[in-house]
Structure 1
Amino acid sequence: MIQLSKCFSALALILMATQFLHAETVASPTDPTVLQGPTGPTGPQGATGPIGPQGPSAFPPSYAFYYSPNSQLSIYAGETINLTMLDPENVGGFTAPINGGISIPHDGVYLISYSVFTNVRNGVIALAVNGKAIAKTSVAVPLNQNTIILRLNAGDILTLTNGLLSGSINALSVTTNTRLPTVPVTLTLQQIGS
């Protein structure tokens, strides 16, 4: 009986030791056969690391509004619809129109909105860069307006053109009807990317 009692005592000690070890230790993540103690308290904060590299610089604001307040008659296919005025509220190096077009001051991506009021029912208005019409910019009358995003290079000349294959259009300034525009040709551009 004493022998059995010693056996139970030894078994009880083994169980208690196992529970104690199980509650306080976990297997090492690198070697599951090695037991690892509990995680200790968090240590003090380390020194500040070095300053990282400078990120890309933002480009300065760049935008302009061009227009023509006067009627333009008989603008033939492929010809420029002249922009004659630069609004003084422009930023970023834009200059007055050159031969009805705009000289782009900086390489970049531009948001461009334009409109032409015309009396021709089947007219087509398009943007041209350096004299070459950009097909995706064409808009048919009566809509007469469009907004597009284009990548342009510094020195590019941007113009509005009569996108018809043949025939002419008239850009009309109307002052007798307040529902129609008094400024027949407008173009706004804003640099939105580099």
Structure 2
Amino acid sequence: MSRDRESPAIDRTLRPAVFFDRDGVLNVDTDYLFEIDKFVWIDGAIDAVKAANDAGYFVFVITNQSGVARGFYEETDVHRLHDWMARELEASGARIDAFEYCPFHPEGQIERYRLVSERRKPQPGMIVDLLSRFPVDTNRSFVVGDRPSDIEAARAAGLPGHAFPGGNLRDFILPLLASG
């Protein structure tokens, strides 16, 4: 239910991975973003994804989307936005290997989404699910987020977490890729 677009053919060779939070890391956080016309890439975000691709990393998006539980938008809106993001990245020669999102929130207005979920950050469920599906070298992988819950999810999954302070995402991630 909370998986999104995923690359169809997976090579089983171990590779490191970058797990990006979405809002505030890849795009400007505008609270409950689901509309393509309101989406704004963070400076250097497309180049950061491409740099990770070129360095041989899997690139994943892990994002809490409580707007679904709150009734602000539907899961189909999340899929539509992620598909659009993937097309935008592909046009620049970059790719996301898989998008994961959590539509649940314990205080949601929509009953079927009103629950505590292991997939909702700071819980590590989205990361753990990706680790079970992809041949990830966890010793060389990391999470990039902008909130404490992102860093807590990374630690709970046994990965280092790096807090993106804003600015140019490519400039932020290049030293992390080089050290991996």
TM-score (norm 2): 0.27
More strand by share: 1
Higher relative contact order (CA 8 A, sep 6+): 2
TM-score (norm 1): 0.26
More helix by share: 2
